[in-house]
Chains A and B, each alone.
Chain A
Amino acid sequence: DAKTTQPNSMESNEEEPVHLPCNHSTISGTDYIHWYRQLPSQGPEYVIHGLTSNVNNRMASLAIAEDRKSSTLILHRATLRDAAVYYCILRGGTYSGAGSYQLTFGKGTKLSVIP
Chain B
Amino acid sequence: GAGVSQSPSNKVTEKGKDVELRCDPISGHTALYWYRQSLGQGLEFLIYFQGNSAPDKSGLPSDRFSAERTGGSVSTLTIQRTQQEDSAVYLCASSLEARGNEQFFGPGTRLTVL
Residues of A near any B CB (own CB < 8 A): 32, 34, 42-46, 49, 87, 95, 98-99, 101-108
Q: Which of B19-45 contact A (CB under 8 A)?
A: 31, 33, 35, 41-45
Contact status A43-B91, CB under 8 Å: yes
Contact status A105-B42, CB under 8 Å: yes
Give B35 Cβ to nearest chain A Cβ, in Å: 8
Task: Report the interface size for chain B: residues with CB under 8 A from the other chain.
Answer: 29
Give the contacting residue for A46; candidates B35, B41, B50, B102; CB below 8 A.
B102
Q: Which 4 A-B pairs have CB atoms at the shortest separation, nearest pair first?
A: A43-B105, A105-B42, A98-B56, A105-B43
Contact status B105-A44, CB under 8 Å: yes
In the bound complex, CA of A21 to CA of B29 (Å): 32
Majority secondary structure, B binding face:
loop
Q: Given the complex, which residues of A lie within 8 Å of B44, measured CB to CB?
A: 105
Q: Given the complex, which residues of B lie within 8 Å of A101, measured CB to CB?
A: 31, 33, 48, 50, 56, 98-99
Contact status A99-B48, CB under 8 Å: yes
In the bound complex, CA of A38 to CA of B107 (Å): 10
Chain B residue with the shortest CB-CB distance to A104 = B45
Q: Given the complex, which residues of B lie within 8 Å of A104, measured CB to CB?
A: 45
Give B69 Cβ to nearest chain A Cβ, in Å: 14
Contact status A98-B48, CB under 8 Å: yes
Q: Given the complex, which residues of B lie within 8 Å of A99, measured CB to CB?
A: 48, 56, 58
